[in-house]
Amino acid sequence: MIGFWLTHYSLLGILVGGALGFMFDASRQQRRRTPAQGGYVAPLFALIGAVAKADGRVSEAEIAIAERLMARMGLDQDERRKAIAAFNEGKQPEFNASPVIDELRQWVGHRRDHAFPVIDVVIDTVLAEGAPSPAKMAILRELAFALRVSDMELMALMAMKGYAWNAGPGGRSQGGGHGGGYVPPQRNTQGPDPYAVLGIQRDSDERAIKRAYRKLISEHHPDRLGDLPEDMRRRAEDRASEINAAYERIKTERGFK
């Protein structure tokens, strides 16, 4: 609009102004991402440490999850040292998780296909000892909100790990004290509920089921992951397989193509 006005309402002014605006937006986005260019490892492990300590103590199971994650990510000696230091910092009683959540938000940017693997990693620690405490869920939900992941999508991610929310009539979660209608998830020994995996109600019609499937698979499809770290890429590939399996189960039960 400024270019249009300065050039006395010419088409050239619109083009020049648009180009300058695009360059400005691109440089601003780059500046926003600069703090995260040093890597996602430190903020991620600091957040994992904070989650582990949220219920008052860090268990051996939670430490083991952090160790396995370092191994799967193939961290070199220097990266591993930074990850351990960040984990130890995160588990300090006075640690504030919000700044590292913001760093992860900047690293993810607008890539929702990157947001889900990050949340998936943190869920491992949240569920390390079974039903998570309200304090752990509060951190997880703060992360999900920062990465633009809804409660329903978060529920689906946890369902993929064999956990499901206790639900009342109509499939709506009920409960108090955990915020947002959450109650502690219980392990589902028969595997994840395919409807929970897709984030839909059991009475959803065929059109809603297909729409939910297409949305999820587009966000988790490995071809869209770009420069995602290898461990998180494998997690996204696993999620895509679980989404496909859930959809196939529902199609078989419902009898549609």
Find where tokens 């990510």 sit: 73
Read off the pLDDT of each residue in 157-171 and give the average, rounded to a whole number: 59
Q: What is the pLDDT of residues 25-64, one digit of tens each?
A: 544 444 333 333 347 889 999 999 999 999 999 999 999 9
89 confidence band (pLDDT: 50, 70, 90): very high
Element (H, E) at 219: helix 206-220
| pLDDT bucket at 88, cuts 50 / 70 / 90 | very high
**Alpha-carbon span 67 to 81, nearest angstrom:** 12
Together in a domain, 29 and 45: no
What lies within 8 Å, CB to CB, of 52 at 6+ separation is 58, 59, 62, 63, 66, 87, 90, 91, 125, 128
Query: Is 181 inside any structural domain?
Result: no
> Is residue 28 domain-shared with residue 82, that is, in the same domain?
no
Structural domain of residue 134, as residue ranges?
A: 39-161+186-254
Say what percent of the chain tops pLDDT 70: 67
Average pLDDT, the chain: 76
Q: Is 32 found in the same domain as 77? A: no
Whether residue 175 lies inside any domain: the answer is no
pLDDT value of residue 228: 58
Residues 139 and 201 in one domain: yes
Least confident of 106-115, 142-151, 229-238: 229-238
| Ranges 12-21, 23-32, 62-71, 153-162: which has the least confidence | 23-32
Task: Give the per-residue pLDDT at 64.
Answer: 93
Q: Which of 84-98, 174-188, 191-205 has the lowest mean pLDDT?
A: 174-188
How far is 108 from 117, CA to CA, in rounded Å?
A: 10
Least reliable range by pLDDT among 43-57, 111-125, 176-190: 176-190
pLDDT at 61 (0 to 100): 92
- 3-state secondary structure at position 76: coil
pTM over 0.75: no
Within this chain, do residues 6 and 107 fall inside the same structural domain, yes or no? Answer: no
How much is the average pLDDT of 185-197?
Answer: 62
In a domain, 167, yes or no: no
In 141-192 the beta strands, taken as DSSP E runs, fall at 163-164, 186-187
Both tokens assigned to 144? 């999900």
- Give the chain's domain count: 2
> 10 and 71, same structural domain?
no
